[in-house]
Amino acid sequence: MSIVQVALPIPMRQLFDYLYEGDELSPGVRVKVPFGSRVLVGVVLGTVSNSTMQAEKLKALLEVVDSAPVIDHVLLKLCHWLSSYYHHPIGEVIHTALPVALRKGLSSQPKPIPFFRASDNDDEKVEKLLGTAKKQRLLMAFLADKEVEGSTLKQHFSTAIINAVLKKSLIESIDKTVEPDLNWRDNLTLSDKPRANIEQSLAITAINQADTGFKTFLLEGVTGSGKTEVYLQGIEAVLEQGKQVLILVPEIGLTPQTVSRFKSRFGVEVGVLHSNLTDNERLTVWQQSRSGQLPIVIGTRSAIFTPMKSPGMLIVDEEHDGSYKQQDGLRYNARDLAVLRAKEHNIPLVLGTATPSFESLSNALNGRYQHLLLSDRAGNAAHAKQNILDIKNQPLQFGLAQGMIDRIEQHLRQGSQVMLFINRRGYAPALLCHQCGYVEECDRCNSPYTIHKQLNKIQCHHCGSARSIPKQCVQCGSDEVVPYGLGTEQLEQGLANLFPDYSSVRIDSDSARGKTRLSELLDMVNKNQHQLLIGTQILSKGHHFPNVTLVVILDADGALFSADFRASEHLAQLITQLAGRAGRAEKPGEMWLQTHSPGHPLLQDLVHNGYGHFARHALLERKQANLPPFMFFALFRAEATGARLPHEFLAEVSGLFRDLAHVIVVGPIPALMEKRQGRFRMQLLIQSDNRTVLQRALAERMALLEQLPLARKVRWSIDVDPQDFV
Ligand code: ADP
Ligand code: ZN
Ligand code: ZN
């Protein structure tokens, strides 16, 4: 009997011991174990000779699921790192790292496929049984001296025919496991590619030179500068060596176009991983990447956990994108994890973006990453010109100043498309009583309801609660309740009034709901079926609209005065990304930003000097203000149905971190959104100018913290390198 230590998907920072009789189990093998009254699937992490548990309390394993580890040693090492860096229980980390099908305990091996073959019969018997059945004869001839996959046979013969010969025992069905086809290297093709310009060549050469070791590149290239082309030419040599490439993209940047660009360049299969797949589809890509069958895998955040037989390079496209950070459970950043993974595999990593995150930019400027720049659009496309429109004191129609309306008209008349960005979906962000000023609020979140006219509902965007639009004010009884402010739905209506001759389309998370809806909408835009595009953030990500020559940002002033220190970075990224959607080769574009603060330094710097200049300058300000990436943050969040307990809990937590050298404690303070879904939310910020000091402090205090009696009375979490303070 030996004792195995098992990581289980439960929120406890420990391993669990179970008795086991048999050959030693390798770390990474899944087992089924009894836990309380349940049976859980866990992963073996080690074997020990003594348990801290009393011998008579130890239970036995129920079942060993795998014959070989489902997590290789590199991924296992990364799981340990994630657990210690994000202070998250190892069992839950491993759970996150596995595809759902494997979490449930299903087989990690490809499913056997049914095949048919002729049974062993003497010719005379076969003759007799077939008689005059013509089609059955054809089928027997088809199966002469070969085994045929069930699905292939069914393409040639009806089920009735197949069943008839099966019944006569002339053929039999067998299940076969198909060996993975690892020969893609021999079939690599290189279809035509554009000749790289000088900056692209420099980048490609640098990347190729690194293909024998770990190195991180920051590829900073304006939109349309040919970053994707650099990835394509940069991975050529990797693929030719028979090595695999893993590419991360933001959730909504993953379009069929992206995938087909890689497929058609190399003429190979590309595995795709995103949130709209079934568990089985995900598992198949996982298996094929693990067996080495897939040369290229493209996926969103959690694809960073995809095993590879012979990893050759990692790429994170749009590395600044917020979707790489998981916002619940294990709050990891897939971009940061990519750096560690590349290091473990000893392979290069390329982080690409037009608008680098301050973290990555800082690493490039201080020499930790190699900085590659693409400063011009590829081919002969020009940059979109960026402009600011002062709307102080101007009459607005549907949020648009007259000058803007005229300009939109001009572009439409020239046969171009116009894109309008507004950050709010729905009809209007509030319902206001004109008589008494009362605003309808969700009392679970203390925030105004958004009006959705098409649904005839008011809805809270924080908790999803909704009800029909009230006809009267609940406070004074007046029936003069009116929409306040502007949302995408209302703008869509307004544009139909202002430009009746042109068709508009709204692209936001309401209209693009459903698996294929977004690509359908984008398709219609590219076919010029709509001339006016209205949308939210979705529009800023990855899609190219060659016929759009004017981008209008209706109002971004809110972000200029936000309490979140990252708001200006995110606003600058958004504006730059939006401007990048406009114009292509023959059609130069322009972007206009409406604002009440035309003199704001951020806007001035951005518009006149570009994101690169703005970011380098803003980075200096972060340094002076002692903010990330020069300070390291860990944020404790706590919530409960009353405000008192979270405050008391975090006050006790803050006591654990006081009096530590180089550690600063801020709070407890209310979260930016103080109440949400009926719960009061508080925060405590722990900072240090030294990552190691912060990590050590957290590691040392975590056990004490969990023993605080209040830790069981509030819902709490820790977020290392938090991205927001909502
Ligand atoms: P990014 O990924 O930076 O947005 P892409 O790689 O998609 O840029 O390139 C933008 C467009 O320019 C694409 O249509 C691409 O085919 C084209 N392109 C890229 N590099 C070159 C080049 N060296 N010469 C001509 N066209 C290029
Ligand atoms: Zn009223
Ligand atoms: Zn709510």
- Look at ligand 1, atom 26, and give the residue with the nearest C-alpha: 379
CA atoms within 13 A on the CB side of 309: 15
- What's the gap in Å between 606 CA and the centre of ligand 1? 24
Question: Is the Cβ–Cβ distance between 512 and 542 less than 8 Å?
Answer: no
- 223-253 pLDDT per residue, tens: 888 999 999 999 999 999 999 999 999 977 6
Query: How remote is the CA of residue 494 from the centroid of ligand 2, in Å?
Result: 26
DSSP secondary structure string, 231-249? HHHHHHHHHHTT-EEEEE-
For residues 137 and 94, the model is more confident at: 94
Q: For residue 196, which atom of ligand 1 is closest to its CA?
A: 23
pLDDT at position 466, please?
94
Tell me what pLDDT residue 593 has.
95
Burial class (CB in 10 A: 0-12, 13-18, 19+), 365: middle
Q: Say which residues have a Cβ less than 8 Å from residue 6's Cβ, sequence separation at least 6.
A: 15, 16, 17, 18, 31, 33, 42, 43, 44, 45, 61
pLDDT at 563: 81
Which pLDDT does position 495 carry in this prediction? 96
Give the Cα separation of 627 and 687 in Å (integer).
Answer: 9
- Measured CA to CA, the distance from residue 467 to residue 446 in angstroms comes to 16
Which of 386-419 are b and which e, b meaning 16 or more Cβ less than 10 Å from the residue's Cβ? bebbebeeeeeebbbbeebbebbeebbeeebbbb
Quick: pLDDT tens for 404-423.
Answer: 999 999 999 999 999 999 98
The chain-wide mean pLDDT, for the chain, equals: 92
Which pLDDT score is estimated for 380?
65
> If you measure from the C-alpha of residue 570 to the centroid of ligand 1, how many angstroms do you get, rounded to a whole number?
25
Atom 25 (ligand 1) nearest CA: 379
Give residue 221 CA to ligand 1 midpoint distance, Å.
11
Residue type, 529: Q
Segment 552-560 shows an average pLDDT of 88
Residues 88 and 688: their CA atoms lie apart, in Å, by 20
Give exposure, 520-554, as e/b (b: 16+ Cβ within 10 Å): ebbeebeeeebbbbbbbbbbbbbbbbbbbbbbbbb
How far, in Å, is the centroid of ligand 2 from the Cα of 480?
Answer: 8
176 or 5: which carries more pLDDT confidence?
5
**Ligand 3 centroid from CA 505, angstroms:** 28
Q: What is the full DSSP assignment across 293-319?
A: --SEEEESGGGGG---SSEEEEEEETT
| Separation of CA 427 and ligand 3 centre (Å) | 17
Residue nearest to atom 15 of ligand 1 (CA): 226
- The pLDDT, as a whole number, for residue 558 is 81
Q: Please, are residues 324 and 297 in contact by the beta-carbon 8 Å criterion?
A: no
Q: Name the amino acid, one letter, at 128.
A: K
Q: Which atom of ligand 1 is nearest to the CA of 222?
A: 3
200: Cβ below 6 Å to ligand 1?
yes
Cα 666 to its chain centre, rounded Å, is 30
Q: Determine how β-strand 504-507 pairs with β-strand 113-118.
A: unpaired
Tokens of 316: 């994170």
Residue 119: its pLDDT value, please? Answer: 86
**Residue 373, ligand 1, Cβ within 6 A:** no
Ligand 2 centroid, distance to 472 Cα (angstroms): 8
The residue contributing the CA closest to ligand 1 atom 23 is 196
Q: Report how far ligand 1's centroid is from the alpha carbon of 224 (Å).
A: 6
Q: What is the pLDDT of residue 105?
A: 95
In whole angstroms, give the CA distance from residue 7 to residue 547. 53
381 Cα nearest atom in ligand 1:
12
Q: What is the pLDDT of residue 275?
A: 83
Q: Is 47 in the pocket of ligand 1 (CB under 6 A)?
A: no
Given a cut of 80, whether residue 515 has pLDDT beyond it is: no
Q: How far is the CA of 424 from the centre of ligand 3 (A)?
A: 16
For the chain, the first-to-last Cα distance in angstroms comes to 51
Q: For ligand 1, say whether the CB of 577 is within 6 Å of any of its atoms.
A: no
- Report how far ligand 2's centroid is from the alpha carbon of 473 (Å): 5
Nearest atom within ligand 1 for CA of residue 195: 23
Ligand nearest to the CA of 380: 1
Q: Which residues surround ligand 2, an ion (CB under 5 A)?
A: 433, 435-436, 438, 473, 475-476, 478
> Is ligand 1 within 6 A of the CB of residue 233?
no
* Ligand 1 pocket test target in 197, 229, 350 with most atoms within 8 Å of CB: 229
- pLDDT bucket at 211, cuts 50 / 70 / 90: low
- Amino acid (1-letter code) at residue 684: L
Ligand 1 contact, 28 CB (< 6 A): no
Segment 46-51 mean pLDDT:
88
Cβ 226 under 6 angstroms from ligand 1 = yes
Average pLDDT over residues 464-488: 93
Reply yes or no on whether the pLDDT at 542 is more than 70.
no
Model confidence band, residue 112 (pLDDT cutoffs 50, 70, 90): confident
CA distances from 46 to 15, 49, 64, 595, 613 (A): 10, 10, 14, 60, 51
Question: Ligand 1: which atom is nearest the Cα of residue 221?
Answer: 3
Indicate if ligand 1 lies below 6 Å from the C-beta of 234.
Answer: no
Query: Is 493 near ligand 1, meaning CB less than 6 Å away?
Result: no
Residue 379 in contact with ligand 1 by CB distance below 6 A: yes
Q: Is the CB of 229 under 6 A from ligand 1?
A: yes
Q: Which of 218, 217, 219 is nearest to 209 (CA)?
A: 217
Residue 436 CA to ligand 3 center (angstroms) comes to: 23
**pTM (2 d.p.):** 0.91
Q: Is 227 in the pocket of ligand 1 (CB under 6 A)?
A: yes
How is residue 35 written in tokens?
């836990």
213 lines ligand 1 (CB under 6 A): no
Residue closest by Cα to atom 8 of ligand 1: 226
Nearest ligand 1 atom, CA 197:
23
Average pLDDT over residues 172-189: 85
Is the distance from the beta carbon of residue 378 to the nearest atom of ligand 1 less than 6 Å? yes
Identity of residue 533: L
pLDDT band at 448 (very low <50, low <70, confident <90, very high): very high
Q: What is the pLDDT of residues 257-280, one digit of tens each?
A: 789 899 999 999 999 998 888 999
Q: What is the mean pLDDT of the segment spanning 449-474? A: 93
pLDDT at site 124: 84
Distance CA 407, CA 401 (A): 10
Please give the pLDDT value at position 575: 92
Q: Is the CB of 228 under 6 A from ligand 1?
A: yes
Q: Whose CA is nearest to atom 9 of ligand 1?
A: 226
Distance from the alpha carbon of residue 382 to the mean position of ligand 1, in angstroms: 13
668: preceding bond cis by omega (within 30 degrees)? yes
Q: What is the pLDDT of residue 190?
A: 82
Atom of ligand 1 nearest to the CA of 232: 6
CA 76/CA 27 separation, integer angstroms: 8
Residue 381, pLDDT score: 67
Q: Is residue 683 within 6 Å of ligand 1 at its C-beta? A: no
